[in-house]
Amino acid sequence: MAGVDPIQGAMGAASSGMKLESHRLRLSAENLSNVDTPGYQRKLMFAREMAGGGAEVARTGLSPKEGREHYDPYHPLADERGMVRLSNVDLMVELADAREARRSFDANVQAFKQAQSFYRGLLDLLQR
């Protein structure tokens, strides 16, 4: 973002943060909705810093952690031993992650509003 004024830079960083946390919240919602789905693997998001400030989604992936096994020989997904691989989503971890993402999103909204307020103040000064 070479040549961008500091207020625009702050607005851009806050905007990219909102987009990033929105993606994180969506993944968390998917994970929470599949907490009881056998074989489901938790989706993870990896972020990277952008050159001019802010952050973006670098990639999404699946958690390598194995879900625990449950004996249910009549389940359609049971293996030859009668074991069903459960989801690897930990409800408490996912709820905490969703809460953190929501708070980060809200903080970025406030930062954007503050930068917008500075911009309005600057425009008011220039109009005088």
Helix (H) or strand (E) holding 105: helix 91-127
Residue with tokens 């990896």: 46
Question: pLDDT tens digits for 51-73?
Answer: 878 899 999 999 999 999 999 99
Percent of the chain with pLDDT over 90: 79
Say how many C-beta atoms besides its own lie within 10 A of residue 51's C-beta: 8
Q: What is the DSSP string of 12-78?
A: HHHHHHHHHHHHHHHHHHHHHHTTTSTT---EEEEEEE-TTSSEEEEEEEE--PPPPEEE-TTSTT-
CA–CA separation, 38 and 32 (whole Å): 13
Question: pLDDT tens digits for 24-41?
Answer: 999 999 999 999 999 999
Q: Which has more pLDDT, 9 or 63? A: 63
Which of 3-12, 18-27, 116-125 is the least confident region? 3-12
CA–CA separation, 64 and 92 (whole Å): 18
CA–CA separation, 56 and 35 (whole Å): 26
